[in-house]
Amino acid sequence: MKTICVFCGSSPGGSPVYVNAAKQLGTLLAKSGTTLVYGGGSVGLMGELARAALAAGGRVVGVIPQKLFDLEVALGGLNELHVVTSMHERKALMEDLAEGFIALPGGLGTFEETFEILTWAQLGLHQKPVGFLNVNGYYDRLSAFLDHAMQEQFVQDIHRNMILQDENPEQLIKKMQAYSPPKTDKAAWVKALDARRLVE
């Protein structure tokens, strides 16, 4: 993968381990020659990630809505900065620019961005890998909840298995590089569910 989009918090989190992880990932992407696409911000893990990538000689592309740009939270010195009109346009452009996606720890925005990308993959709108970097066990409970959702038959196993996870950034990227997307046919899946309901 030549380009990876990273979703992450606009907060640094409550422990230095999260900032260190963001810096480590940014440096790793830069040294591997991978372009970083991210939300364009200068604060929190977003800023730490981008500054680390730039400091290591990497290429960094930011995508930020006009409203946030006007609040002067954009990071200067990026190789490219796209200022878009809305959050929807931001996510669409990030998806278009990237060949894979990583979620560092973050809050509601990080969750929303990552799960929208996963939903697009489930619908077959793209076949790109999506991984959670499980820093300090941050995503352990989310992983358990996804297993529960699968057991309760709201998430299919093939879609649960699309979600990659590792605590080591190098290992996570290796999993992403080896990723083989499932053959997703949403219409056929809905028909199968309807057929099962008739039998039940």
Number of domains in the chain: 1
Tens-digit pLDDT string for the chain (200 aa): 999 999 999 999 999 999 999 999 999 999 999 999 999 999 999 999 999 999 999 999 999 999 999 998 899 999 999 999 999 999 999 999 999 999 999 999 999 999 999 999 999 899 999 999 999 999 999 999 999 999 999 999 999 999 999 999 999 999 999 999 987 665 555 555 555 555 54
Report the candidate in 157, 158, 175 with the shortest Cα–Cα distance to residue 166. Answer: 175
Antiparallel, parallel or unpaired: β 100-103 and 60-65: unpaired
Strands (E), the chain: 3-7, 35-38, 60-65, 80-84, 100-103, 130-133, 163-166
CATH number, domain at 168?
3.40.50.450
Domain that holds residue 53: 3-199
pTM of the model: 0.90
Residue 199, amino acid: V
36 touches 27 (CB < 8 A)? no
